[in-house]
């Protein structure tokens, strides 16, 4: 059994710019195969926007920005094994209800719909888990209400992530006939 890690933009940006949670994101990249990582394709633009904003306001030097952008390109944008979930009109339209149901913004609603679509697809194989990596409190709360396991690199620990994986594994194993 393996786990998939679905990043929102702010969580994945921690990989490329030092902030609270960066160490845990880096550790996750060392422990988990990139082939089991995903993000929304729109998040690529958001991450570049975050990096540019940090360069423009002085939180990243020009050198640090160049290095971060190059690493991001190599690890995510150009990496075939890192999954980029695409969106279409059907995803957008099916995400609309999440805005009012969970009081989240449009991008978070699309992320949540994409996460749930991926979770449903993985559940059909019967041996996969999906963990949403986010520090966005509203998105995390909405995802939990929809039955998604959430890891917040700003407050959680790798031990808590492992506990979540172990708990999910035990629940799934209860339903597997022996």
Question: Which CATH number characterizes residue 85's domain?
Answer: 3.40.50.1010
Burial of 79 (0-12, 13-18, 19+ CB in 10 A): middle
Q: What pLDDT shows up at residue 134?
A: 97
- How far apart are alpha carbons 17 and 10 in whole angstroms? 10
pLDDT at 175 over 50: no
If DSSP codes are grouped into helix, strand and coil, which group holds residue 2?
strand
Total number of domains constituting the chain: 1
Q: What pLDDT shows up at residue 1?
A: 54
Q: What pLDDT shows up at residue 170?
A: 58
Q: What pLDDT shows up at residue 168?
A: 55
pLDDT band at 176 (very low <50, low <70, confident <90, very high): very low
Q: What pLDDT shows up at residue 173?
A: 44
* Average pLDDT over every residue of 34-38: 95
Q: Which range has the worst mean pLDDT, 5-19, 38-52, 159-173?
A: 159-173
The structure's pTM equals 0.89
8 touches 45 (CB < 8 A)? no
Q: What pLDDT shows up at residue 160?
A: 82
* Average pLDDT over every residue of 105-130: 91
pLDDT at 80 over 90: yes
* Structural domain harbouring 142: 2-174
* Average pLDDT over every residue of 10-27: 95
Which is more confidently placed, 152 or 129?
Answer: 152
Determine the distance from the C-alpha atom of residue 32 to the mean position of all C-alpha atoms in its chain, rounded to a whole number. 13
pLDDT digits (tens, 9 = 90+) for 126-142: 767 899 999 999 999 99
- How far apart are alpha carbons 75 and 35 in whole angstroms? 11
Rg (Cα) of the chain, in Å, rounded? 16
Q: What pLDDT shows up at residue 124?
A: 86
pLDDT at 68 over 70: yes
pLDDT band at 69 (very low <50, low <70, confident <90, very high): very high
pLDDT at 26 over 50: yes
């Amino acid at each position: 059994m393996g786990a998939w890690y679905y990043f929102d933009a702010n969580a994945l940006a921690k990989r490329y710019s030092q902030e609270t949670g960066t160490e845990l994101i880096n550790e996750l990249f060392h422990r988990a195969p990139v082939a089991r990582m995903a993000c929304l394709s729109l998040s690529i633009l958001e991450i570049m926007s975050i990096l540019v904003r940090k360069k423009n306001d002085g939180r990243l030097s020009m050198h640090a920005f160049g290095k971060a952008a190059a690493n991001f390109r190599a690890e995510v944008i150009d990496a075939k094994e890192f999954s980029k979930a695409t969106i279409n009109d059907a995803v957008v339209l099916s995400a609309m209800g999440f805005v009012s149901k969970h009081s989240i913004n449009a991008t978070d609603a699309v992320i949540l719909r994409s996460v749930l679509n991926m979770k449903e697809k993985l559940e059909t194989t019967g041996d996969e888990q999906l963990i949403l990596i986010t520090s966005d409190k509203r998105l995390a709360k909405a995802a939990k209400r929809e039955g998604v396991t959430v890891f917040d690199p700003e407050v959680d620990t790798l031990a808590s992530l492992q506990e979540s994986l172990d708990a999910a594994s035990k629940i799934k194993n209860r339903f597997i006939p022996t």
